Amino acid sequence: MHYVFITGGVASSLGKGIASAAIATLLKSRNFKVRIRKLDPYLNVDPGTMSPYQHGEVYVTDDGAETDLDLGHYERFTNQSAKKSDSISSGKIYSNVLNKERKGDYLGATIQVIPHVTNEIKDFINSDLNKEDIVIYEIGGTVGDIESLPFLEAIRQIRNDRNTSSALIHMTYIPYLSSAGELKTKPTQHSVKELLNAGIQPDIIMCRSERPIDKDSISKISLFCNVKQDSVIPALNAKSIYEVPSLYSKYGLDEILLKHLKYNPKNYSLNLNPWKKLLNKIDSQKFTVIIGVVGKYTNLKDSYKSLNEALIHGGIQNSTKVEIKWINAEKLNSKNVKDLLKNCNGILVPGGFGLRGIGGKIEAIKYSRLNNIPFFGICLGMQLAVIEIARNLLKIKSANSSEFKSTSKSVVGLMTEWVKGNKIEKRNINSDKGGTMRLGSYKAKLKKNTKIYSIYKKNEIFERHRHRYEVNTKYIKRFNDKGFIFSGMSPDGILPEVLESKNHPWFIGVQFHPELKSRPLSPHPLFVSFIKSCLK
Ligand code: GLN
């Protein structure tokens, strides 16, 4: 078993997650059994309770973990499903340590960062492995942050252990100073010093840069950072993120990494054909559609990372370039709805939480329903479609979700009980907020002769969920009478999973998050079908 650690320096948001995923792709494309995991330095136990503005999207795994959005990149690039045990935060590490202390596991000892916290990190790194050839660990944050120190110390100790083979890749940023007309390597030198302070010498330095990196800069980095020239790898911007693996390979990253791990790259040939085919498809797109995404966190694209990618995947399959028009729901109202949405070929209302922006999203749904524009509602988007139809078509004027208002006409209400495996989960209004939603993969049954059935072509599906509220089944019949059917239900028939219109070209709301399972090499059928209908 070999470990690869990936740290970041100089600045955040360098795309370290995509880089790590691309490295995993390269190794997988050489037939290695690869696993990729994330260590996050923040003190939240998981990102589940953080605003997307803090942290980007919360990515949900099949086994119900709320994790960092980088796990989404890992899945999309490696085509492998991540697990709960593929990510951890300082908060979780500390909470494990404190629980052990209370249980008396360390009786007699003073609990300290070294060795107790660092041992907990090392235990995580070595835990739950499954005979992988290479396991990649991406360390969140930037070297030099106080919170990341224990992680660096744990990595130092692991690398110091003679029985482990590992490589450390440090990703930095090389800024261009236009006044000097030069790329500057000093920030990189300083961030490598930070690593050295922690007792870690990187093996490979990856340099993010907006401009090609000249030979002189490479030599300088090599000299000052004590890394061989062939291990200083430019990481330049790509046309599409799916081009990143081939770009890195062009600079020899995979070969050099394998050499650091004492493999002979010649014995493991690289096959990037599926990715090359994908890039060809992207280059030869014939059509364009504009999709209006009406959401609350539209200022930060990372808030809807998987959605953004899933729409692109759906487009690739249809030879179509998808342009997303991000529309701030709080700025949309009955007066400007037409202006804002008139050139959209499709409208999507994504998941979300809380009251803000609800009015705008409901207006957008009404507009797409009345104007026969393809509509896709995801989780909150589906719940709001239910509210819109209840108010405007069933004439239940005070119809609402109990998430926003307590009313006797809650067409969407708090989920108090559901079946998970062979257990019944129970919640009430006072339950903790962290990790208590209906999370992860659940089965849904699809009704025959419905649009959703024709899309999935099967009657049982597994999709990932993340919600606390559910559609109230009391109103199902009244919806049916108006041509709206719940064409997917939980296996016990209690939780509506899919809403569709019988009379509209494409009006579908789903309680789950299909975007989490879409991958560039296997796009999600719902997104493929949605984009196809938007093309018409
Ligand atoms: N806020 C809604 C709920 O908890 C929808 C959640 C979501 O869109 N992920 O059910």
Dump the DSSP string for 299-355: T-GGGGHHHHHHHHHHHHHTTEEEEEEEEEGGG--TTTHHHHHTT-SEEEE----SS
Q: Which atom of ligand 1 is nearest to the CA of 378?
A: 8
Q: How far apart are CA 531 and CA 315, in angstroms?
A: 6
DSSP string, 506-523: SEEEESS-GGGG-BTTB-
465 CA distance to ligand 1 middle (Å): 9
Report the distance separating Cα 402 and Cα 405, nearest Å.
Answer: 5
pLDDT of residue 7: 96
Q: Could you tell me the distance, in angstroms and rounded to a whole number, from the CA of residue 511 to the centre of ligand 1?
A: 8
Query: What's the rounded Cα separation, in Å, for the pair 317 and 1?
Result: 37
- 282 neighbors 316 (Cβ within 8 angstroms): yes
Number of the ligand 1 atom closest to the C-alpha atom of 437: 4
Question: Where does residue 492 rank: exposed (0-12), middle (13-18), buried (19+ CB within 10 A)?
Answer: exposed
At 130, give phi and psi (nearest 5°): -140, 55
- pTM score of the predicted model: 0.93
The residue contributing the CA closest to ligand 1 atom 7 is 351
In the set 55, 255, 515, 534, the catalytic residue is 515
Question: CA 143, 139, 199 angle in degrees (round to 5)?
Answer: 50
**Helices 70-78/305-317 angle, 10° precision:** 20
CA of 277 to the centre of ligand 1 (A): 37
Considering only the C-alpha atoms of the chain, give the largest distance between any 2 of them, rounded to a whole number of Å.
75
Pocket test for ligand 1, best of 412, 464, 466, 499 (most atoms within 8 A of CB): 466
> Which of 353, 386, 442, 464 for mutating ligand 1's site (highest number of atoms within 8 Å of CB)?
353
3-class SS string, 243-292: HHHHHHHHCCHHHHHHHHCCCCHHHCCCCCHHHHHHHHHHHCCCEEEEEE
- Known catalytic residue: 170? no
Which atom of ligand 1 sits closest to the CA of residue 353? 1
Task: Name the residue of 60, 403, 431 to mutate for ligand 1: max ligand atoms within 8 A of Cβ.
Answer: 403
**Dist. CA 466 → ligand 1 center (Å):** 7
204-209 and 232-236: which strand pairing? parallel
Q: Whose CA is nearest to atom 6 of ligand 1?
A: 467
Nearest Cα residue to atom 8 of ligand 1: 351
Q: Which of 66, 410, 467 to mutate to test the pocket of ligand 1 (most atoms within 8 A of CB)?
A: 467
Distance from C-alpha of 68 to C-alpha of 294, rounded to nearest angstrom: 23
Nearest ligand 1 atom to the CA of 513 is 9
Q: Phi and psi of 306, rounded to 5°?
A: -65, -35
pLDDT of amino acid 359: 95
Ligand 1 nearest-atom number relative to CA 354: 1
Q: Which residues line ligand 1 (CB under 6 A)?
A: 351-353, 379-380, 403, 466-469
For 209, list phi and psi in degrees, rounded to 5: -160, 150
Would you state the pLDDT for residue 366?
97
Token representation of residue 195:
């690593």
The pLDDT value recorded for residue 193 is 95
In order along its 536 residues, the chain shows pLDDT tens digits of 899 999 999 888 888 999 999 999 999 999 999 999 999 999 998 888 888 887 889 999 999 999 999 999 999 999 999 999 999 999 999 999 999 999 999 988 999 999 999 999 999 999 999 999 999 999 999 999 999 999 999 999 999 987 889 999 999 999 999 998 899 999 999 999 999 999 999 999 999 999 999 999 999 999 999 999 999 999 998 989 999 999 999 999 999 999 999 999 999 999 999 999 999 999 999 999 999 999 998 888 889 999 999 999 999 999 999 999 999 999 999 999 999 999 999 999 999 999 999 999 999 999 999 999 999 999 999 999 999 999 999 999 999 999 998 877 888 988 877 778 778 788 887 777 887 888 999 999 999 999 999 999 999 999 999 999 999 998 999 999 999 999 999 999 999 999 999 999 999 999 999 999 999 999 999 999 999 999 98
Does the active-site annotation cover 467? no
Probe target for ligand 1 pocket from 59, 416, 468, 499, with the most ligand atoms within 8 Å of CB = 468
For the record, the structure tokens of 388 come out as 């819109």
Separation of 385 CA from ligand 1 center, angstroms?
13
Dihedral angle sign, alpha carbons of residues 347, 352, 356, 362: positive
Q: What per-residue confidence (pLDDT) applies to 323?
A: 96
Q: What is the CA(380)–ligand 1 centre distance, in A?
A: 5
Which atom of ligand 1 lies closest to the CA of 469? 10
185 Cα: distance to centroid of ligand 1 (angstroms) = 45
Q: Which residue do the tokens 């694209």 mark? A: 301
Q: Determine the Cα–Cα distance for residues 158 and 152; give it in Å rounded to an integer.
A: 10
User: What's the CA gap between 39 and 70, in Å, rounded?
Assistant: 11
Per-residue pLDDT, 172: 97
379 is catalytic: yes
Residue nearest to atom 9 of ligand 1 (CA): 351
C-alpha–C-alpha distance, residues 519 and 21, integer Å: 13
Kindly give the distance from the C-alpha atom of residue 200 to the centroid of ligand 1, in angstroms, as a whole number: 43
Give me the catalytic one of 207, 225, 344, 379: 379
Of these residues, 2, 116, 513, 524, which one is catalytic? 513
- The Å distance, Cα 16 to ligand 1 centre, comes to 29
